[in-house]
Chain A
Amino acid sequence: GAGVSQSPSNKVTEKGKDVELRCDPISGHTALYWYRQSLGQGLEFLIYFQGNSAPDKSGLPSDRFSAERTGGSVSTLTIQRTQQEDSAVYLCASSLGAGGPKPNEQFFGPGTRLTVL
């Protein structure tokens, strides 16, 4: 079956530009997560969605970062006025959220590698 997909796979942008990163979770997964991973670092939690609402936005590093989810499915992470320190791999994951033997098992997408010049 289809897994989590993300687009684009790579994005190179100039400092100050806005970027949008897209995540298509596994169908039926109610929970969706965004993480970022800088080179050689661990995963940094950004935001968590349950359905279309985001009960936890605590990881968003600044007000330049925002995310939305529509129809309980696709999510978009937007970074405004990008800075060089935003360069990282942005990973999306989805999980069932509830029910089943492994409701919190997260399935990760391949990530979007963002490079800000």
Chain B
Amino acid sequence: DAKTTQPPSMDCAEGRAANLPCNHSTISGNEYVYWYRQIHSQGPQYIIHGLKNNETNEMASLIITEDRKSSTLILPHATLRDTAVYYCIVPGKAGGYQKVTFGTGTKLQVIP
């Protein structure tokens, strides 16, 4: 798996956009970027994934740089329920039988 680097913690005001960065400089051409989050006392939850194009779903947007060495997860209007640890993961080739390794993630605190 390509190694990912995330800041350990971030704060965001409620209602504002939360921008969570991730560096994955060793990513290879066919490796996807996945984002999960873990709300306190729950198992991790899938958010979004992408290869090279920006992606958007009902939960978030994913912006991947042109060189694919970094990405940003955007929560457009953060709510208190978005307080969680966010994990950026590069699990290996899509469709392959690769394990997913979770790092320590970014602890996002949404402030009222």
**A interface, CB within 8 angstroms of B:** 31, 33, 35, 41-43, 45, 48, 50, 55-56, 91, 93, 97-99, 102-111
**B interface, CB within 8 angstroms of A:** 32, 34, 36, 38, 42-46, 49, 85, 87, 91-92, 94-105
- Taking CB atoms, residues of chain A closer than 8 Å to B99 are 33, 45, 48, 56
Please determine whether A109 and B43 come into contact, CB atoms closer than 8 angstroms. yes
Residues A42 and B97 in contact in the complex (CB < 8 Å), given A105-B46, A111-B43: no
- Taking CB atoms, residues of chain B closer than 8 Å to A110 are 42-43
Residues A99 and B95 in contact in the complex (CB < 8 Å), given A42-B103, A104-B100: yes
- Taking CB atoms, residues of chain B closer than 8 Å to A107 are 46
Chain A nearest Cβ from B43, distance in angstroms: 3
- Taking CB atoms, residues of chain B closer than 8 Å to A106 are 36, 44, 46, 100
- Taking CB atoms, residues of chain B closer than 8 Å to A33 are 99-100
Pick from B45, B85, B96, B102: contact of A35, CB under 8 Å: B102
A to B CB contacts below 8 Å, 11 in the list: A42-B85, A91-B44, A93-B44, A97-B97, A98-B95, A102-B46, A102-B49, A104-B34, A105-B46, A105-B49, A106-B44
Chain B nearest Cβ from A22, distance in angstroms: 15
A56 to B34, CA, bound (A): 20
- Taking CB atoms, residues of chain A closer than 8 Å to B96 are 98
